[in-house]
Structure 1
């Protein structure tokens, strides 16, 4: 081939200039989407910019910020690392990578990146603030680890309800019974409790501890995978993540009725964290579990874990509203939550999704020893963390834990286990639900306007026993008291999510 002509070089330059201009335009549009909390659209816009001009560190760092808002911390980590490779002095690359590490609970890695950024820009006031906050968090974690000792026996066995008398000045709802003979939970008490929670008041710790202890015994007696039978003329409602949005939970019950023997529910994990009324949510759900053990079903999500609760607000909220002993009891109780439900032998309901290997059976899930904090790999981890992907096969998770699984994986798993449908939660969806994998994988998410900023609808699914065909209801968020999301989380996590 001959040498390029001058006109050819000029044409190539014009093409490059045009592509770079289009990339900048895509970035600007994505920035606007980010400001409007349209984070997936922002990701798509930054991706377009990167395809047009892949050598700009800012595009990767901005996409990392959008991934962080979507809780795709693994993808954010990769983008921030690419930004740093392109420009080792680009402070926001280190910022974003540190924020991604924070979201994954990798506090020491976050601190390392904040220190690197500080070495590049030692006078940056926002950076100094984040560095100091992160240093305090690492010190706190190290202090707690140093003090921690293996428990000689379960926290529940150390709790003495009789040592918590109901004082005469308490003006809240009372369970039936008395101090000497004990108290009994009733539906009237639960309804009165919901009303008190609406007024931002707590119930007496004696009653709160009793609810948790009784629910713990029910969870402990359940298998890791619960079979739920729905009569031909009956139904069940499945809800996704609630995330401490108590007033939206009340709205679900306003729309669909309170739990009862004739109106059973499954709540599919992530009851707590993020929203700042998580104590109210979990006590309400556990109280109905105690009232209707066979008609109120709760499954574990990835946020029913000690690591997430420390980061995203639930532990701080429990300590603020009650005490550290109750936080420890919740941690212990969460470890007994079942990992999933099978409806009429046809529908599997789990929080996250499917697995990194073929051939997994329902009996494999039933054999999981669940009484522990979630591991970082294996079946239990993937049940809690995985997500569907558009393409076939499997890929690394955008979250940095679990796996992304395709339509072929879903179809093979369902066929292998004689199932019709997979229902999972774990991801915000604009309409509250989404059908993937030719309709064989459904995501349901029940926290509308997630974290007071996402603008999404919530949804729940009703299954009738006769057909087991999903029927969807979507709903908008309702007003709540002026308490911001993640109000009880560390300041460093609130700033990371713009709160």
Structure 2
């Protein structure tokens, strides 16, 4: 977090700080979270002794997914006032958002002891305790038995297609363009793909992905167009709008989707089957990279796990976890541009060869190159800093420059962060962010964007667009109930 410079505490500063807090609260109510953070920070500069300023800024950081900063602020609020209950709630929420459930539970436990008769505190403690026990139970089971792959336990022959099923059908077990067009129409009309076909797609995609390296090299012809999209986050109708604006994927219209296909948005199942379908149809012209949300912990918290269980089965949710473990971590376009979901590394000597060799078939670790590819963010100043998210690192223009020189590259493209225009060019044009989910979570008011480039010069061209209407299914509809309790 940026250092909070402290002013002398005078009556005038105390009064001005309160004014900033009131303005910040108004911004927060209007969901202008970045502006709220700015104003809370001004209040803290003038009077750094008020726990509420830190507690409120912590909540705003949570809303902008800066979980590391949220954690720091909540802790600071508690240091200033041990009895500041909201501080413990905020700290628990930050831990929960990072999948650190035991640490969250300790904070909820403190609140229940401080307020034994508070039903709200009790319900949060109970929900969190359930998650901790469930994780411990699952760990114990997996130690007791050698885990058999979910894919191996699926019997497609035992699944019958009912006569009344009117949706798209695979032809000889294969995805065709006709199937994909029918699938997208079915989804637009809020229909559902038959579970037998859904399972078949997942089994086929897993088998395909398992044969790939962790870094994919993508050649692009001089006059060929190539499109890079950022986070989609379950916003199916906005995904359809991208295809409307830029054409359906084909061998002449290749795409790379750069992670975070699911979670938050309530149409994640529709997004992932559409993307996986195109991957099977055009394996050499449609590319998908893993994001930090293609992981079990994130899926359990932010809705994908709940959505798959609601629309299909628990078994399918487990199979998705297996499939996601095999998604590539990065793509190198024409030996000139590296594309990854998060960003660069905490060490200076990482090469493309190192990325290619990463053993990716696992849940993302808490540190190291695989974690950083999925979680890191750029920062404007040189050097590195601890991540505002609490995972990965922040890297400056010098880090980007050194990495590009070492690997003989021109620039990097990454996603992972909401940008008001849908994209941002940083680090002297060497680090580009692209985010493709407009009006993220129906609240952020941002545009979406995608990048097109031609092989001959690899110059990025940006297309931006607004959100399109979608059925009345709220984002986070399938999220873990405890997130709704905290928020």
Of 452, 465, 469, 2:459 maps to 469
Superposition deviation, residue 191 in structure 1: 0.7
* Residue 52 of structure 2 is aligned to residue 58 of structure 1: yes
1:223 corresponds to which residue? 213
For 1:96 and 1:439, the matched residues in 2 are separated by: 36
Query: In structure 1, which of residues 134, 146, 163 is the aligned counterpart of residue 128 of structure 2?
Result: 134
Distance 2:376 2:366 in 1: 12
8 Å contact from structure 1 (residues 266, 297) kept in 2: yes
SS at 1:236 equivalent: strand
SS at match of 2:428: helix
Q: Is the 8 A contact 1:37 1:455 kept in 2?
A: no
Deviation of residue 147 (structure 1)?
Answer: 3.4
SS of residue matched to 1:33: helix
1:370, 1:380 within 8 Å by CA — same for their partners in 2?
A: yes
Kindly state the Cα deviation for residue 93 of structure 1 after the two structures are TM-superposed: 0.7
1:91–1:121 Cα contact (<8 Å) kept: no
Residue in 2 that maps onto 1:94: 88
Q: Write the distance in 2 (CA, Å) between the matches of 1:416 and 1:14.
A: 47
8 Å Cα contact 2:9-2:47 kept in structure 1: no
Query: What is residue 263 of structure 2 aligned with on the other side?
Result: 273
Are positions 1:422 and 2:416 aligned together?
no
Cα distance in 1 for partners of 2:146, 2:241 equals 40
Q: How far apart are residue 152 of structure 1 and its match? A: 4.4
Counterpart of 2:261 in 1: which secondary structure?
A: coil
Deviations 1:119-172 (A, max 9, x none): 333344433332232233333333333333554442222222222121212121
**Counterparts of 2:188 and 2:141, CA distance in 1:** 37
Question: Which residue, 232, 241, 246 being the options, matches 1:251?
Answer: 241
2:309 corresponds to 1:314: no
Cα distance, 1:261 vs. partner? 0.6
Of 53, 75, 80, the match for 2:74: 80
Matches within 5 A, 1:215-364: 215-364=205-354
Partner Cα separation in structure 2 for residue 276 and residue 306 of structure 1 = 17
Contact 1:239 1:267 in 2 (8 A): yes
The structure with the largest alpha-carbon Rg is 1
Cα distance in 2 for residues equivalent to 1:99 and 1:188 = 45
1:42 aligned onto 2:32: no
Q: Tell me the TM-score normalised to structure 1 length.
A: 0.93
CA–CA separation in structure 2 for the residues paired with 1:324 and 1:15: 56
CA contact (8 A) 1:244 1:271 kept: yes
Q: Counterparts of 1:272 and 1:485 in 2: how far apart (Å)? A: 11
Deviation, 1:414, is: 0.7
Question: With structure 2 as the length reference, what TM-score do the two structures score?
Answer: 0.96
Q: CA deviation at 1:14?
A: 11
Mapping 1:370-385, distance limit 5 Å? 370-385=360-375
Determine the C-alpha separation between the residues in 2 that align with 1:488 and 1:125. Answer: 23
Which consecutive unaligned segments of at least 5 residues does structure 1 have?
1-12, 178-182
